[in-house]
Structure 1
Amino acid sequence: MRVAFFTDTFTPQVNGVAKTLQRFVNYLDDQDVEYIVFAPGGDHQTLNMEQIKGFKSVPFYLYPECRLSLPNLSTIRKQLESFQPDLIHIATPFNIGFAGLYYGKKLGIPMVGSYHTNFDRYLEYYDLNILSKWVWKYMRWFHAPFRQTFVPSEETKRDLIQRGFRNISIWSRGVDCQLFHPNYDHRVVREMYHIDEPYILTYVGRLAPEKDLDVFLKIADSLPPSLKEQVHWLVAGDGPMDSELKAAAPKNMTFTGYVEGEHLARIYATSTLMVFPSRTETFGNVVLESMAAGTPVIGARAGGVQGIITQDETGKLCTPGHVDEFIEAITDLLCREKVVKEMGVRARLYAKGCSWTSIFEDLLLQYEMAIDDTIMSYA
């Protein structure tokens, strides 16, 4: 099997799509599956340079961390014709993804796609709701030629089917339970950030409006006075709201900046609870990471997050935007230390069942089915 990927985000960019794709191509290396990646230019030294075809790019104004590329179409054609892929996987609907769609059609190469981001839901956070109708029209057109469109959660699958998409399949997400586990020394994080309070409540993710961080700040500010003194907030991440959040944050809130690897795993494991109010997630990778570290999550009952958290078993789900519900959930759990520990054990057990290997094996089987469908159509 030879697979050509077209994506407008890839390492060293920091987001769930880029990380998942990098992990997947690392898996393909281990399985000796041939691939080529068309992506924005960047430092791809951790990967096989011959397999990564980078193009000049500029920052996307809504997301400076993400980039819009300027692909050379003639170069792409030559490289595709030389590589002769059995399948094209298009991960994003922007410039590079569009180039993949164009040549997939032109050269008769079977295509699959993936849907990672609720772009239309992001629009309301940037006062661009007027574009929602056109975004969905474009997305339906873009995904129509694909043998399969892969989505990370059942909630996202239902949403796309209701909006007229066809051939939707689940490509879930996994977690590295050897990295994310509860057995780190909690003193390391406490000493690093000078935390003396008994409870650590943590947010991990991009610092951007679509993560409902205005709700997060209201939650932190509205805890009962007696509880505020016992809580320290940790915010791990970076993004366009960084300065705004720091200016409005209470004194008992520490911003770590972007962290990853063992440092991030230690933060999860040391936290009492993770609080994640975002309603725009198609999956919620950070929720699964927290659970793998044995830390229950209080999240919004929306998007893919509600498919990960089991109410009152591995965490709590609250109505999106309802600050009072989040405060009630936090207050309830902090008063029941034994319940929090039991939730953490169940959360860890759930995460241990989310193996990246089994998820990637299933995706390769779906690739084969897409290729076989093409062969059958010519039989």
Structure 2
Amino acid sequence: MRIAIFTDTYTPEINGVAKTLQRLANYLERSKIEYKVFAPESKTTVPEVPHIQRFASLPFLLYPECRIALPNPVQMKQSLEEFKPSLIHIATPLNLGLYGLHYGKKHHIPVVASYHTHFDDYLKYYHVPFLQKWFWKYMFWFHRSVEKIYVPSQSTKEKLTNISFHDELEIWGRGIDHSYYTPIKKTDEIRRKYQIKQRKILLYVGRIAPEKEIDIALNTYETLPLHLRQDTHFLIVGDGPQLKLLSEHNNEQITFTGFLEGEELAKIYASSDLFLFPSSTETFGNVVLEAMASGLPVVGANAGGVQHLINHGENGFLCEARNVKGFSAYTALLLDDNDKRYRFANNARQFALTQSWDEIFSRLIRSYYDVVKRNVKRFSA
């Protein structure tokens, strides 16, 4: 089997889609399954890799982590004719995906797609909700001829099923490298670097943007009981359009670190006490699983993909979306009760240990094979 992957975001860009696709590529490499990735050029210089073909691109207005590629049809056609894919996987329905869809239909190559982001939910946060009608019109048109659509969580599947989006929706979950995100990376180095004097560290990791509802996280911290607020430092890790404005605060107990990755991020997770994640627009919630693997209980929104990761009252608490009172109450409960927090932390780690990337990708490959076999039968009948 030879798999052609079309995506408008890929490493070194940092987001859930790019990370997942890179892990998929690594798995295909280890499994000796041939693949080729068609992706936009990055805003940072990256070395050329034989399996990745990049194209000039521009940032996507509403979500700069995705880039609008300017593909060269002649070059792409030549690459695909040489590669001879047996399956095309479209991860994003923009320019590159359009070409992959066209090529697959023209040459009777089965095409699957994956749905990663609730862009329709994002539109209201950027004050353009009137675009939802056109967004869904385009999404229905784009996906009507694909064989199958992979979704990250049960809630995403239910959302798309309720609008009769496609007849074949299959859950393609996410895993975690629990040897990389681990409690053993806890270190006092984080306290020294960010001059943290308080005994407890509350953590948020994610995009600093309206759709992540970072305002709920800040309000949650500000409404904690005084004794807890005085004893807790709030670390906010990430970059995004709201970073400059929000970081101009005068609270010495709130630190915006900016974008972090790698070992430093893993150490921050492990060195914190509690993870706060109010976003209700997640299709999965990768950072929640990273936090759990690092031994952190999570207070999150009872919405989207996050609700499937948190077992309420066991490894964290689920709160009504945008309900600051609820977020504040559960955050205070776990900050104030060390025994409960430690028990939840252990449960969170144990849950993360069950989320294996290899098992998830193995299921995906079996699904790929089923699609290819079905296509062969169809055109040989």
Normalising by structure 1, report the TM-score: 0.97
Give the match for residue 261 of structure 1: 262
Give the match for residue 202 of structure 2: 201
1:33 aligns with 2:33: yes
Give the CA deviation at 1:248: 3.8
Give the match for residue 11 of structure 2: 11
Give the match for residue 2 of structure 1: 2
* Comparing 283-292 and 138-147, the one that deviates more: 138-147
Give the distance between the partners of 1:244 and 1:217, measured in 2 at CA. Answer: 13
Give the match for residue 360 of structure 2: 359
The root-mean-square deviation of aligned C-alpha atoms, in Å, is: 1.2
Give the distance between the partners of 1:12 and 1:55, measured in 2 at CA. Answer: 14
Is the contact between residue 217 and residue 249 of structure 1 (CA under 8 Å) also seen in structure 2?
A: no
The 5 Å alignment of 1:226-375 reads: 226-248=227-249, 250-375=251-376
Deviations 1:297-347 (A, max 9, x none): 100111000000000101001001010001100111122111111111111
Letter in 2 for 1:161: T
Give the distance between the partners of 2:122 and 2:250, measured in 1 at CA. Answer: 23
Give the distance between the partners of 2:46 and 2:177, measured in 1 at CA. Answer: 22
Give the distance between the partners of 1:246 and 1:8, measured in 2 at CA. Answer: 30
Unaligned residue ranges in structure 1 (runs of 5+): none
Give the match for residue 162 of structure 2: 162
1:91 aligns with 2:88: no
Give the match for residue 122 of structure 1: 122
Letter in 2 for 1:359: I
Give the distance between the partners of 1:366 and 1:22, measured in 2 at CA. Answer: 19
Give the distance between the partners of 2:12 and 2:187, measured in 1 at CA. Answer: 29
Letter in 2 for 1:322: N
Q: Give secondary structure in 2 for the equivalent of 1:255.
A: strand
Letter in 2 for 1:228: R
Identity percentage of aligned residues = 47
Letter in 2 for 1:20: T
Is the contact between residue 238 and residue 258 of structure 2 (CA under 8 Å) also seen in structure 1?
A: yes
Q: Give secondary structure in 1 for the equivalent of 2:183.
A: coil
Give the match for residue 144 of structure 2: 144
Give the distance between the partners of 2:35 and 2:46, measured in 1 at CA. Answer: 15
Q: Give secondary structure in 1 for the equivalent of 2:122.
A: helix
Give the distance between the partners of 2:81 and 2:99, measured in 1 at CA. Answer: 14
Q: Give secondary structure in 2 for the equivalent of 1:117.
A: coil
Is the contact between residue 297 and residue 309 of structure 1 (CA under 8 Å) also seen in structure 2?
A: yes
Is the contact between residue 179 and residue 261 of structure 1 (CA under 8 Å) also seen in structure 2?
A: no
Give the distance between the partners of 1:225 and 1:345, measured in 2 at CA. Answer: 28
Give the distance between the partners of 1:109 and 1:72, measured in 2 at CA. Answer: 20
Give the match for residue 23 of structure 1: 23
Deviations 1:19-62 (A, max 9, x none): 110111011111111111110013443xx722111100012222
Give the CA deviation at 1:249: 6.2
Give the distance between the partners of 1:197 and 1:170, measured in 2 at CA. Answer: 42
Give the distance between the partners of 1:14 and 1:152, measured in 2 at CA. Answer: 18
Give the match for residue 79 of structure 1: 79
Give the match for residue 178 of structure 1: 179
Is the contact between residue 219 and residue 326 of structure 1 (CA under 8 Å) also seen in structure 2?
A: yes
Is the contact between residue 221 and residue 250 of structure 1 (CA under 8 Å) also seen in structure 2?
A: no
Letter in 2 for 1:315: G
Give the distance between the partners of 1:329 and 1:224, measured in 2 at CA. Answer: 12
Q: Give secondary structure in 1 for the equivalent of 2:189.
A: helix
Is the contact between residue 39 and residue 54 of structure 1 (CA under 8 Å) also seen in structure 2?
A: yes
Unaligned residue ranges in structure 2 (runs of 5+): none
Letter in 1 for 2:67: R
Give the CA deviation at 1:194: 1.1
Deviations 1:104-134 (A, max 9, x none): 1112110000000001000000111101122
Is the contact between residue 278 and residue 300 of structure 1 (CA under 8 Å) also seen in structure 2?
A: yes
Give the distance between the partners of 2:65 and 2:116, measured in 1 at CA. Answer: 17
* Comparing 11-20 and 182-191, the one that deviates more: 182-191
Is the contact between residue 9 and residue 65 of structure 2 (CA under 8 Å) also seen in structure 1?
A: no
Give the match for residue 221 of structure 1: 222
Give the CA deviation at 1:184: 2.1
Against the structure 1 CA distance between its residues 53 and 353, is the aligned structure 2 distance closer, same or farther, given a 3 Å change threshold? same
Give the distance between the partners of 2:186 and 2:125, measured in 1 at CA. Answer: 39
Give the CA deviation at 1:288: 0.3
Is the contact between residue 110 and residue 371 of structure 1 (CA under 8 Å) also seen in structure 2?
A: yes
Give the distance between the partners of 1:358 and 1:287, measured in 2 at CA. Answer: 19
Is the contact between residue 204 and residue 235 of structure 1 (CA under 8 Å) also seen in structure 2?
A: yes
Is the contact between residue 5 and residue 90 of structure 1 (CA under 8 Å) also seen in structure 2?
A: yes
Against the structure 1 CA distance between its residues 246 and 86, is the aligned structure 2 distance closer, same or farther, given a 3 Å change threshold? same
* Comparing 30-39 and 135-144, the one that deviates more: 135-144
Give the CA deviation at 1:64: 2.9
Q: Give secondary structure in 1 for the equivalent of 2:188.
A: helix
Normalising by structure 2, report the TM-score: 0.97
Give the distance between the partners of 2:140 and 2:60, measured in 1 at CA. Answer: 22
Is the contact between residue 208 and residue 241 of structure 1 (CA under 8 Å) also seen in structure 2?
A: yes
Letter in 2 for 1:372: K
Q: Give secondary structure in 2 for the equivalent of 1:247.
A: coil
Letter in 1 for 2:326: E
